[in-house]
Chains A and B, each alone.
Chain A
Amino acid sequence: MSVSAKKRWRALIVDDEELARHMIRELLQPHSEIEVAAECANGFDAVKAVAEHKPDLIFLDVQMPKLTGFDVLELIGDDVSVIFVTAYDQYAMRAFEVHAVDYLLKPIGRQRFEDALERAKSRLGEKMPSAQKLADSARPPQQFLERVVVKDGTRVTLIPIAKLDYVEAQDDYVALASQGKKHLKQQTIASLEACLDPNCFVRIHRSYIVNLERVARIEPYGKDSRLAILSDGARLPVSRTGYARLQSLLDERK
């Protein structure tokens, strides 16, 4: 037998309903190789518990208050096996199928559970598909991001999109400016741009996306380039193509 068969697994159960958590715990009972390290009733606890227990496997409910299962995955990274659990969410289910992520439907049947568990074990050490890609394909068509989740250590912050002032690219990270603070998040500016409502956010520069609501005025700056002055005084460079985009959007709004 392989080593992994004897390995002890640490698992996390994340669901906001106690009975649902109990259900999974019960289904895990015959599996002595799996030890439930913690149960979490919400996403915040889950993020903390992941840092604390370093689980191998997480049973993650999709619909939870404040932080959804997708948010949690985004915050904990992709080197853990996740089995999603959902009652009914056609978009999420499609996303799981597309990205070949294991998922369970409530009510959870024993056979289906065993299958998912087997698959998850066999995938040990494989990376999960990126949470962002998963969340993107689980979003219903024509819908944009409503908030961004960022993590600073184990502290999780939710930034509602309306409170996002601008985004600045910094290598593999983006700095999200909101209410005078900057939050770092590991994401490319292009992938973030794709999730934002193009009627509210404009890519004014290779490294900047701005919330149109915050733009107070545009000033010329040197040859061929301009500065966007935001209502809080921030000054962002505007490239020539960025200026064209900004103008066409402002024209549309008139």
Chain B
Amino acid sequence: MHPLFTRNRLGLYLLAWVPLVATSMYGLVSRGSLDWFRAAVLTVPVYLLYAFLCLSAWYPCRATPLGKVSFVRLLLTHLTAAVFFSFVWTRASDAYAYAILRPEELAALTRQFLPQVNAIFTVGVLLYLLSVAFHYVLIAMEDSRRAEAQAAEALILARDAELKALKAQINPHFLFNSLNSISALTSIDPGRAREMCVLLGEFLRLTLGLGEKTVVHFSEELDLLQKYLAIEKIRFGERLKTQEAIQEDSKACLLPPLLLQPLMENAIRHGIANLLEGGEVRLTAERQNGHLEILVENSWDPDAPPRRSSGMGLRNVKQRLEARYGKEAALHVMAEGDLFQVRLSIPLESEEKA
């Protein structure tokens, strides 16, 4: 749709033609060819026609966007259109004049305009070209408005994703089960109940705190993971075994916050929790070839039906990695026998860049 086809915009556009109509009418009246009324009857429809013909410039303008096609093609396109429309307009105006004017008016007019026929045609061409310029401005304005809207939308989407990530972090299932464990412990072992309360509190505080940053040290994320695992160990008891092999150098590396916790949660929810006898979760981290290499491994039951929301966490991690590092980072998922592996490779960042 043409962007001017709303009542307000069209009105403004037509208003811009009024001075032209008035000048032409004055020209006719002052030479004594026509009186004011007859001049209006002649000029208003003629210019109204051209006003609309000029609107059609929008289509070639859109088809030949500035800066994307050669100047020659641009010139050729619009000149051709200008000549064509000006021709149509002058012919149509002629025919209209013949149809409505009395013979003596026509004679006066012909006397006045015959020497200027070429000039009128040129005016038509120029008016059309003016309209072309006007449309380019219009298109640029629309484009910038659209770009703005898109940027705003992208921002909202990014925020949304962040919020979702945060929400997913504090999984309700985990929270309610932990509370139930605490509740049970209060009578069996009040000391451990308190310990678990503290762990849970620290875990939540860390999650909220880390979530506000754009990048954290691996050691901070590790701290969160250890709290998380400690809580889950109380819940699962003997069924959850953990192992860690963390290279000391890796702890200073930077990475987006709360990236690993969902992986750990997957390992437990989709791995250990599906095994009658439980299993082991292993975390390995080291610096290698300019990357921080992280490996999360867990035992799992390959026959277990995929639980709903499975894969959500992984997809989220993947998206966040891509958004920040592009092709520099990698995430590989491998399921072999009863071992499930997620391998992360994150390019090393210097502190300043963050």
**Chain A residues near B187 (CB-CB < 8 A):** 26
Instruction: State in angstroms the CA–CA spacing of A89 and B171 once bound together.
Output: 11
Q: A88 and B176: CB pair below 8 A? A: yes
Instruction: State in angstroms the CA–CA spacing of A160 and B180 once bound together.
Output: 32
26 A-B residue pairings within 8 Å (CB atoms): A17-B181, A17-B235, A17-B236, A17-B237, A19-B180, A19-B185, A19-B188, A19-B234, A26-B187, A42-B276, A44-B276, A63-B173, A65-B273, A65-B276, A66-B274, A87-B177, A88-B175, A88-B176, A89-B173, A105-B176, A106-B176, A107-B176, A107-B179, A107-B182, A143-B308, A158-B303
Instruction: State in angstroms the CA–CA spacing of A87 and B181 once bound together.
Output: 11
Give chain A's interface secondary structure class.
Answer: loop
| B184: Cβ under 8 A from any A Cβ | yes
Output the least CB separation between A103 and chain B (Å). 13
- Which A8-49 residues have C-beta < 8 A from chain B? 16-20, 22-23, 26, 41-42, 44
- Most chain A CB within 10 A, of B181, B236, B274, B303, is at B181
Give chain B's interface secondary structure class.
Answer: helix
**Chain B residues near A42 (CB-CB < 8 A):** 276
- Interface size for chain B: under 10, 10 to 19, 20 to 34, or 35 or more residues? 20 to 34
Nearest CB in chain A to that of B304: its residue: A66
Output the least CB separation between A18 and chain B (Å). 5
Instruction: State in angstroms the CA–CA spacing of A17 and B182 once bound together.
Output: 12
From B180, B188, B308, contact of A108 by CB (8 A) = B180
B217-239: CB near A (< 8 Å → 1, else 0) gives: 00000000000000000111101
Instruction: State in angstroms the CA–CA spacing of A158 and B239 once bound together.
Output: 22
Interface size of A by CB at 8 A reads 27
Instruction: State in angstroms the CA–CA spacing of A113 and B308 once bound together.
Output: 29
Nearest CB in chain B to that of A45: its residue: B276
**Chain B residues near A88 (CB-CB < 8 A):** 172-173, 175-176
Nearest CB in chain A to that of B172: its residue: A88
From B172, B181, B273, B306, contact of A63 by CB (8 A) = B273
| B67: Cβ under 8 A from any A Cβ | no
From A22, A63, A65, contact of B275 by CB (8 A) = A65
Q: B176 and A108: CB pair below 8 A? A: no
